Structure 1
């Protein structure tokens, strides 16, 4: 197997590992991951039953898989759309440029803990790279600067906008009294209320940063990537928001790249092993040797000669594919010969494997002949002059 291992195979494995890990990190705290794991389990059962010759079970699972794929697209269309947006490498060219205004995060953090000391509930959403239009419902447009006095006036119980979340977008207060999707995770503690479930629900579906203040306990928490982190002081909240919302310097980005490479190492190693196993099943499950008949074509015949006869007109090739994703039967394979050195009379043209254009992963095992006899005659003088 090793002689057929190519540099492209390493790139193939690394690309799939990156994509699978991205999907895992995005949906690890959502229902979508549980559904995907269930489908993978059904796929393993289908693979086993098919190889054991259990035709009825494998047929039912195959038909069921087609129906489930359509249902997944309908049920999880929002998650699929968000995943495609996250994978888009061109979104930075079309997104709006970052506003030159900066939020005073120190004042914001002090205001949040002031609300917590007064047992006033609050829910503030910071939009980052991903758009939140599909997740946030209703809301009153404000388009105002972020200030401590504005936050306090919004969340005091006598304000008509206190019930709901505040959305900070492009460093400005964009909406107030918004409704967020609630988390459906079974791991959320029972003592957490609607605000915390809303903060977790949005962070599970996006890269947003959500600050939540508990009205009952007077505690401040930060929700990110489906996790709730308690904040002990305004200084801790300020440091966390600064690291998440403000752009990093080039030196910090280089350090961050190294740390991100080795962060969550065991999930990455597990996903890499899974991708390698799948790659081995797909790539090194060599198909049987197939014999196909390829027609013989010609090019570069001199203008002074005309081709009168060629034998044979087709060649039988024995092909072998190193991936069951490629079927030589479905390929349009021809043997194309160069006649630029042909002379008048009989010529024997050597057939080499390099003259046969094959897709990657398909090789020629054997040919029924290695020579093609070509007969060429000189064109009549009148016809040659007419062509000139």
Structure 2
């Protein structure tokens, strides 16, 4: 396979194809990173590489076995990792942006809540508080007892008091109200989490992996306050920092605006090594499969004449061009050029005068027989044949060859 020939024929659809698959592959990598499904994803990539090599080298039995196993393997993966697949589809759902809009919290509410959080941490009272933002959370949590009240410290103490029947679970705050208590969150399946993290941290991160909610975690064992959001956990140092995060991040009315240049630059510079590796892998796979896909190419060729009867000449058209559209495997089509294609018209039976000739595949000489001719333009050509002119023999003037007279 001539890679240079394939690269020279890359068009806009090919570039778009590579970019789309690269973006999807990168998102899959980020979503599955650190989970049990990530190891399976690496295994799938490795097996795909073996399948590509087997197909490229013509290993018939290996290719046949892989084609049979893929069908069973896909069903098995769906059964084993249905939870991760569901989470991925939920994150990809374009309708999830249609959510609730929150009003601005009063400044008196935030300091009171921040003071309660660190007071509970000092007393080693564990708690999980969900702050719903744009994405609806109700479909991601289980159980939960409906309630509607203000998130005041007295109410929070009564809920998370160790002897309270409601303390074993999280509370959900939306629209400045506690709307559910004793909620159960999905646990994160990531394997790269610190060992000292308990169920609360794993539950908070598990929910943050599926939506844009911010989840406050108060550790009962270590007396720490943390925020889980956007696939990460951030430790909060004091009440002032917690109040600042609540005002500027959790309940911010409007995110800071960025111009297009900043957005594009941020996307390319963030995790650029991973993005470059994913793009390179996708590009290599594209090259491996590109030679096996059907491809069309149009080439303009000069039309020649052969077997012109003796004494006759083609007076019109003396120079003719035809446009030929070819279809075949990209590895074959990419090698086509004017140098290895010949178009000629057989005029062995032609006579003087005007005649019409249909141009077909028989008038073309191709590098191999795997290439199909899709279209030839023009399909017919008018040829005018005349008698060849006689050589121009000029008569010599009288006395031209006589020697000059001597004096």
- TM-score, structure 2 normalization: 0.65
Match of 1:381 in 2: none
Match of 2:116 in 1: 111
- Render the CA deviation track for 1:263-322: whole Å, top value 9, x for unaligned: 122111112212222222233456699xxxxxxxxxxxxxxxxxxxxxxxxxx9852243
Match of 1:234 in 2: 239
Q: 1:101 to 1:142 in 2, by over 3 A?
A: farther
Q: Does 1:46 align with 2:51?
A: yes
Please point out which of 94, 99, 119 is paired with 2:102. 99
The separation in 2 between residues aligned to 1:207 and 1:155, in whole angstroms, is 24
Match of 2:340 in 1: none
Shift of 1:121: 0.7
Tell me the matched-pair count: 316
Match of 1:265 in 2: 272
Aligned 1:14-25 pairs, distance under 5 A: 14-25=19-30
Give ranges in structure 2 of 5+ residues lacking alignment. Answer: 1-5, 297-323, 333-353, 362-370, 382-407
Q: 1:12 to 1:57 in 2, by over 3 A?
A: closer
- Structure 1 contact 79–205 (Cα < 8 Å) conserved: no
The separation in 1 between residues aligned to 2:327 and 2:250, in whole angstroms, is 55
Q: 1:24 to 1:102 in 2, by over 3 A?
A: farther
Please point out which of 12, 15, 23 is paired with 2:17. 12
Shift of 1:101: 5.0
The separation in 2 between residues aligned to 1:85 and 1:348, in whole angstroms, is 65
- TM-score, structure 1 normalization: 0.68
Q: Secondary structure at the match of 2:103?
A: coil
Task: Say what the alpha-carbon RMSD is for the aligned residues.
Answer: 3.7
Aligned 1:59-138 pairs, distance under 5 A: 59-92=64-97, 95-100=98-103, 102=105, 104-138=109-143
Aligned 1:312-331 pairs, distance under 5 A: 318-322=326-330
Which entry has the higher C-alpha Rg, 1 or 2? 2
Shift of 1:231: 1.7
The separation in 2 between residues aligned to 1:15 and 1:219, in whole angstroms, is 42
- Structure 1 contact 199–210 (Cα < 8 Å) conserved: yes
Q: Secondary structure at the match of 1:251?
A: coil
Give ranges in structure 1 of 5+ residues lacking alignment. Answer: 290-315, 325-345, 354-362, 374-388
Please point out which of 246, 263, 267 is paired with 2:252. 246
